Amino acid sequence: MDFTKMINFVESHINILARAYYEQLMKSEYMTTYQKLEESKVIAREELVFQNFIIWLKSGASNDEAEKYFEKIGAERYNEGFPLTEINYALYITKKVFWSTIAWKKELFEDSDFHHLIECMTILNNYFDLGNFYLIRGYVHELFAKLDISDKLTREEIHKILIRGAFDEDDLDKSDFVWRHV
């Protein structure tokens, strides 16, 4: 599948995408660790996500490219003290920003029939879905490496690592989600 138009669009809008991500992140009550970072660092990190997205598309949407990148990021975020729920939600925001940015860009899809469009959407979603899988895997590998060293975690450490975030339905801000029939 030819992603030339998508690659060119993302390359030319990478800063806009990263800034939109930053704005969403700053509004979220679930992103307290990310909110402590300097704006320039958050934007630079998000630009790297989209630069990797471009590399991934240019490589033919190879799982190997996504695996290497996101496992590394998952491990780094663990070592920086980010809760797993936050890194998972961070990529959700990235995906939300990406789709909301390209949603009205007909020129990206004007040559596509319905089946081609569905295939394209599936491939693009794979980046984010595989990204979450590999982020979590890289994160958990680092967690187990820590366990190999100390052989134990306290209840507070487990809570800080895995649980911090909203799990109760009453605590969720439903306006953060796009609900679609599945």
Structural domains in the chain, CATH included, are: 4-164 (1.10.490.70)
Q: What is the pLDDT of residue 182?
A: 47
Supply 94's token pair: 């990235």
Listed in sequence order, the residues at least 6 apart from 113 whose beta carbon sits closer than 8 Å to its beta carbon are none
In 93-104, which positions are buried (b, 16+ CB within 10 angstroms) versus exposed (e)? bbbbbbeebbee
- 112-141: pLDDT as tens digits: 677 777 888 888 899 999 999 999 999 988
- 64-116: pLDDT as tens digits: 888 999 999 999 999 998 999 999 999 999 999 999 998 877 776 677 677 77
Instruction: Look up residue 67 and give its amino acid.
Output: E
- Cα 8 to Cα 27, 66, 96: the distances in Å are 29, 19, 19
- 136-180: pLDDT as tens digits: 999 988 888 877 666 666 767 766 666 554 344 455 455 555 555
Tell me the whole-structure pTM to 2 decimals. 0.80
Listed in sequence order, the residues at least 6 apart from 37 whose beta carbon sits closer than 8 Å to its beta carbon are 45
Mean pLDDT is lowest, of 3-7, 30-34, 112-116, 159-163, for 159-163
Listed in sequence order, the residues at least 6 apart from 44 whose beta carbon sits closer than 8 Å to its beta carbon are 18
